[in-house]
Chains A and B, each alone.
Chain A
């Protein structure tokens, strides 16, 4: 069913934009998670991207659903490259899927703009001239969380993340900046929803703080169960478990939690103001950080298209590298390994009227890049 509808949608898009004679046109293949668990993230990235490129006649987008399965993502990428002849791929949310798709894509001479996943392998030894990450290197937000934990005076943290590439990057990132000791460190199953066993361990560990990275529905379960357990430890985490799409489902259990993000709806700049306003009027909901990443990816693409034709790969790459667009995050540039240099903020979950949302409390890390730049030989 899912497959039929997406194929149908893709066919319609194909039918409506069949002429590609002009070199200024760019065909984008978007592979993202639109069904099943974690689809909220993919939908936000897609909506953000579509908002950015809305009305631009030179961009055509084929969107397909990877169902959060690496094998399906690989099939879709092959098809998009070989029969749809896309110029640029984007959209993947999950690092394990990115690891399966990105290397083959960029080796075939296509550009890949990552709106979310930023596994350490693709930032370090596996970096590639055609791969750009518009969101963050996976470790970034967790590094900021570790930095925040120091400034908050935490000495003994209990840390947990799912057992997949981004989960490992998360704990590595936190530990890189956190100066205290660890009361415990666990990897949970990807997609796990019940954390009773882990919460019991936290209770028994004598920790003074908890750091967790559990994106999507995983974090909803953890926060609710943690607040019901009666453990009164401060919690810190990256924005993924406290973004706009999820807060509603977590409810008041999230109030007051500090989380780190490269974006927030209250960053003051014109691009962000316009983005938040347009997104709300287009889709009738507040944007999440995923949506902002999708939006920035679209804007980056447009900025490069205004400078060079996509068929002229070297010029187009240089244009991308300049990142000459006004980002919703304010200052934004690429480091040598094509990952962002940007500020990472510490936010707090608050209530605006009846709606739970985030507000910036401080800048966690200023002009932050990533730890893998020197490993990248480009």
Chain B
């Protein structure tokens, strides 16, 4: 029974991780290519979820809603990049943090004006409802398997995009030497807009997929944003591979720690205090993990030194 529970929790951790990956891939790409610290990344998560909820309530289709989340967040990304972010590339990180933090507040209030403060309804499609038996005794939510599948699909897609396509070559070149790539006649500002929109749309997709099983409400992006930053610091800033491995690591550590730490503490503490101490330490675990990794590898697992 414990092994079944463990396996199920492992899947939960991986599912959480793949979702984090969608968030952190965009964040790390934007930082790696454009050198921009984008605190407003969580807002695209929210915009994606709200676009999806809007389209789902109009059309009733979950798949159209997913498309809407991608395009809604991408459009918002393009507009914000052109009108605001573009002015920030040459400024130092503190200015970027200040401006993108202001964006969080503006976007949250904006969404609240449009949709109100009450959570919106977004549900998963009928054919992904319920559970699927995987091995003998293990049953797992179909929708969560779908999230894992989508996450891996997008990871593979990003891998191909970065390594096999012309756009990918430019992105990598942009990461290495910004001045050289523009000297070679590549329209760097267009490239930046594309990368920013790509990152925003991935965050939007994550928001819609998670919004369907959690809640679609103002401010939903910020808690995830903090975790996404933890992930990219662990994985090494700018590295997509690092983001993938960091996400899974954070997802699994958080889930497993949260559940098994209180159980473990019960061995030598009374149950009530074991539960509260265990869940307190459980929620610190990923930050402890981050600290340990930074001690061993100061620039993250796959970061450039």
Residues of A at the B interface (CB closer than 8 Å) are 1-2, 5, 34-37, 39-40, 43, 163, 168, 185-189, 191, 193-194, 196-198, 200-201, 203-204, 217, 220-221, 224-225, 228-230, 245-246, 248-251
Contact = CB atoms under 8 A, between A and B. Distances in A.
Mostly helix, strand, loop or mixed at chain B's interface? helix
B50 to A, nearest CB: 12
Given A191-B223, A204-B4, A217-B217, A248 B124 contact: no
Interface stretch (B85-93, B102-110, B185-193, B297-305): B102-110
Given A197-B259, A249-B118, A186 B215 contact: no
B93 to A, nearest CB: 22
Nearest to A248: B121
B183 interface: no
Given A224-B213, A228-B129, A230-B130, 12 more contacts: A36-B222, A40-B117, A40-B118, A40-B119, A189-B258, A189-B279, A194-B210, A196-B15, A217-B214, A228-B141, A249-B215, A250-B121
A254 B130 CA distance: 16
30 contacts: A1-B105, A1-B109, A5-B109, A35-B117, A37-B219, A37-B220, A185-B271, A187-B275, A187-B276, A188-B279, A196-B144, A200-B12, A201-B259, A204-B4, A217-B220, A220-B119, A221-B214, A221-B215, A224-B212, A224-B213, A225-B213, A228-B124, A228-B130, A228-B131, A229-B141, A230-B130, A230-B131, A245-B119, A246-B118, A251-B123
B120 A2 contact: no
A42 B129 CA distance: 33
Interface residues of B, number: 51
B43 interface: no
Interface in B51-95: none
Given A196-B15, A230-B130, A43 B117 contact: yes
A200 B141 CA distance: 10
Contacts of B102: 1
A225 B210 CA distance: 11
Interface string B1-26: 10011001100100110000000000
Nearest to B278: A187
Nearest to B262: A186
A1 B141 contact: no
Contacts of A186: 262, 275, 279
Give the 6 A-B CB pairs with smallest separation, nearest first: A220-B215, A249-B119, A221-B214, A36-B219, A1-B105, A193-B214
A204 B5 contact: yes
A217 B215 CA distance: 6
Nearest to A187: B279
B100 interface: no
Given A39-B117, A40-B117, A201-B259, A163 B16 contact: no
B206 to A, nearest CB: 12
B12 A196 contact: yes
Contacts of B262: 186
Contacts of A250: 121
A220 B220 CA distance: 13
Nearest to A249: B119
Nearest to B139: A230
> Which of A39, A197, A225 has most B Cβ within 10 Å?
A197
Contacts of B108: 35-36
B283 interface: yes
> In this complex, which of B117, B218, B219 has the most chain A Cβ atoms within 10 angstroms of its Cβ?
B117
Given A35-B108, A40-B119, A224-B123, A200 B279 contact: no
B176 interface: no
Contact of A36 (B12, B130, B218): B218
Contacts of A163: 276, 279-280
Contacts of B229: none
A1 B106 contact: yes
B28 interface: no
Contacts of A204: 1, 4-5, 8
Nearest to B19: A194
A188 B282 CA distance: 10
Nearest to B12: A196
Given A189-B283, A200-B12, A249 B216 contact: yes
A353 B205 CA distance: 33
Contacts of A228: 124, 129-131, 141, 143, 213
Contacts of B141: 196, 225, 228-229
B239 to A, nearest CB: 26
Contacts of A221: 213-215
Interface string B236-263: 0000000000000000000100110010
Contacts of A168: 276
Contacts of A188: 279
Contacts of A251: 121, 123
A197 B9 CA distance: 6
B262 to A, nearest CB: 7
Contacts of B139: 230
A5, A163, A168, A187: residue with the most chain B Cβ atoms closer than 10 Å: A187
A37 B15 contact: no
A194 B11 CA distance: 13
Contacts of A225: 141, 213-214
Contacts of A5: 109
Given A1-B106, A245-B118, A249-B215, A201 B5 contact: yes
A217 B141 CA distance: 21
Nearest to B282: A189
A190 to B, nearest CB: 9
Contacts of A249: 118-121, 215-217
B131 A229 contact: yes
